[in-house]
Chain A
Amino acid sequence: MFDQPESFVTSDGRTIGGVMMEMKNITLRFGGVVAIQDISFDIREGEIRAIIGPNGAGKSSMLNVISGFYNPQEGEVWYKGERRPSMKPFEVARQGIARTFQNIALFEGMSVLDNVMTGRLNHMKAGILSQAFWYGSAQREETENREVVERVLDFLEIQHIRKTPVSRLPYGLKKRVELARALAADPKILLLDEPMAGMNVEEKEDMSRFILDVNDEFGTTIALIEHDMSVVMDISDRVVVMDYGKKIGDGTPKDVRSNQAVIDAYLGVAHD
């Protein structure tokens, strides 16, 4: 199904569209260290795309390339059919690519509600004067954005902690608030950096459910990174497997699971 360029409907009734983002021959180096070596893959509209690999495989670097935190030395990033010039992270975010971080980057001093509201910043267009006197577009915008945020809070079941300062929340909830903030931006592509890292089984199940629900409900394209293979296989449509900065597998979870190179990378292989 994924080999056809046009959109199609999956067995569970979701629509997968054409290619939304394409990485072409990306190479990223830090000094002499090659973090990513000549990797190409694409992300299609509406799918859940996972990037997996053992620690140090270059997954996070890849996510940072997509979100503009790193600029690769070689290769091209194509987004919505256009080549993306080298961009700053905030410019990438303004193009509709939202992300979360492995080591949670929330605004610790603000409440949950304020944190999630920052996700709406790029949807606010009212001028400073209009905001100052609280009339017309500013007032309308604030109300609209507030509604979106409340829906997201509701959806992720964190309504009850909306006024709580983020610094007081436990780890699992912080992860969810971060997801809420990214989701509030109404992103075209949602990038999740190890959304389940450091979670217990129950929290992992919750997070998996939310990721599936977000994709299902809003049709959001999701690219996520995980090193826990089992969770990823259950929720993603297609998987890129990385090891030592190289791509060693790419395909549906079923394909990838039976790929010998992937099995070797994960289980280790005897060198003789």
Chain B
Amino acid sequence: MFPDQFLFGVEVMLNGLMAGVLYALVALGFVLIFKASGIFNYAQGVMALFGALTLVGIMDGQVPFAHLINSVFGTDVHHFGWHVPAFLSILLVMVVMVGLAWCVQHFIFRHLVGQEPIILFMATIGLAYFMEGFGDMMWNSEIKKLDIGIPQGGSMWIEEATSFLGGTNFYGFFIDKLEIVASLVAIVLVIVLVAFAQYTKQGRAMRAVADDHQAALSVGISLSFIWVLVWSLAGFVALVAGIMWGAKSGVQFSLSLIALKALPVLMLGGFTSIPGAIVGGLIVGVGEKLFEFLIGAPFLGGATENWFAYMLALVFLVFRPQGLFGEKIIERV
């Protein structure tokens, strides 16, 4: 039998992996847009929030802009009084995300073609705050419960099956079913995305645009179409992240802050690498949980999860600035 302490460590690591999946999902959205257009999308986290908010809103039959409507027309409407099934709602939100992608391209980035990266970045900050405000106005700012029927709570099956590993104080690994589902969904999502990029016409065009804009134009690829496409894909990824995060801790505006955790993930994985985003996410997830368990809680007074990822990113920036999988930066002199 293993010592209990070791088994707890393993459990912490498993939970870290699950948390890492969510970081990886958000980071993946960043990478998609960054690769294809060179835009660092600060609004990725808010897109996750917006997706989750819209999903809850549609499922619960909330009237969008209820506050605005009520104050202008003196009415008192809040709900349509119907409930939309989860599956149908998700499809509708996907349509909304495509619409959002189109708007972003049509109203913002179409006018900023050829601008400096910092200008594009500032534009996404503006977009992030606009969307946060818009989401608030549309669906109001209460914390909402998101229940699309994903099982929750610890998996008894895993606990029972693993309890024999330790002594009498060990009851088996506690792993939330929600996190298992989230991981499976994330794996499927990544496989679908990679297959899309590798084997479809649109995916090939997407990779072409990511590589060289001018060459892409010369073979007849419409850049604006591809940009709408990648923003849509990033929107879907954000939606999945938003659903998982929302199901776990409720849909609230702090959800948009998970975008910041994706930054160290990107530093680790490299800004242009999809496998990098995934591995980076897992490393950050496992790293911060293990560090807290082994060093943080016993020696540093805990709460190291808040800064560990950023410290790790800093170390990476010094020793391997291109990240684990990023292309090596070679400047020709």
B219 & A181 in contact (Cβ 8 Å cutoff):
yes
In the bound complex, do residue A98 and residue B218 qualify as a contact, i.e. CB atoms below 8 Å apart?
yes
- Asked if B160 is at the interface of the complex by the 8 Å CB criterion, the answer is no
Q: Give chain B residues whose Cβ lies under 8 Å from the Cβ of A134.
A: 199
With contacts A117-B204, A121-B201, A131-B199 taken as known, whether A110 is within 8 angstroms of B218 at the C-beta atoms is no
Please state if A107 and B212 are interface contacts (CB–CB under 8 Å): yes
- Docked complex Cα distance between A11 and B219 (Å): 34
Say yes or no: A90 contacts B215, CB within 8 Å: no
Once the chains are docked, how many angstroms separate the CA of A223 from the CA of B216?
20
A182–B205 CA distance with the chains assembled, in angstroms: 15
Q: How many residues of B contact A (CB 8 A)?
A: 21
The answer to whether B220 and A114 touch across the interface, beta carbons within 8 angstroms, is no
Are the CB atoms of B219 and A108 closer together than 8 Å?
A: no
Size of chain A's interface in residues, with CB distance under 8 A? 33
Interface residues of A in 16-70 (CB under 8 A from B): 67, 69
How far, in whole Å, are A90 and B223 apart by their CA atoms in the complex?
8
Instruction: Chain A residues near B215: list those with CB within 8 A.
Output: 101, 105-107, 118
If A126-B201, A128-B202, A131-B200 touch, does A107 touch B217 (CB 8 Å cutoff)? Answer: no
Across the interface, A90 reaches (CB within 8 A) one of B201, B207, B211, B221, namely B221
Q: Which of A88, A91, A93, A132 makes the CB contact (< 8 A) with B219?
A: A93
Q: Is the CB of A93 within 8 A of B220?
A: yes
Contacts of A259 in B (CB 8 A): none
Q: Which of B205-234 contact A (CB under 8 A)?
A: 205, 207-208, 210-212, 214-223
B214 lies within 8 A of A94 (CB): no
**Once the chains are docked, how many angstroms separate the CA of A131 from the CA of B217?**
23
- B152 vs chain A, min Cβ distance (A): 31
Q: Is the CB of A128 within 8 A of B223?
A: no
- A249 interfacial by beta-carbon distance below 8 Å: no
Most A-side CB within 10 Å, residue of B201, B204, B212, B219? B219
A198 CA to B223 CA, complexed, in Å: 30
Whether the Cβ atoms of B219 and A118 lie closer than 8 Å is yes
Tell me, in angstroms, the Cα distance from A122 to B225 when the chains sit together. Answer: 14
A122 touches B220 (CB 8 A): yes
| CA–CA, A89 and B221, complex, Å | 9
As a 0/1 sequence over residues 177 to 209 of chain A, the CB contacts with chain B under 8 angstroms (1 = contact) are 000011001000000000000000000000000
Contact present for B205 and A121 (CB under 8 Å):
yes
Expressed in whole angstroms, the minimum distance between the Cβ of B205 and any Cβ of chain A is: 6
- Whole-angstrom distance from the CB of B285 to the nearest CB of chain A? 28
| A118, A124, A131 — most chain B CB neighbours (10 Å) | A118
Taken together as a complex, chains A and B put the C-alpha atoms of A204 and B212 apart, in Å, by 26
| Residues of A with C-beta under 8 A to B223 | 90
Closest 4 CB pairs of A and B: A93-B220, A105-B215, A107-B211, A89-B217
22 contacts between A and B (CB under 8 A): A67-B218, A69-B217, A88-B217, A90-B217, A93-B220, A98-B219, A101-B214, A105-B214, A105-B215, A107-B207, A107-B215, A108-B211, A109-B207, A109-B210, A114-B204, A118-B215, A121-B204, A121-B219, A121-B221, A126-B201, A182-B218, A185-B220
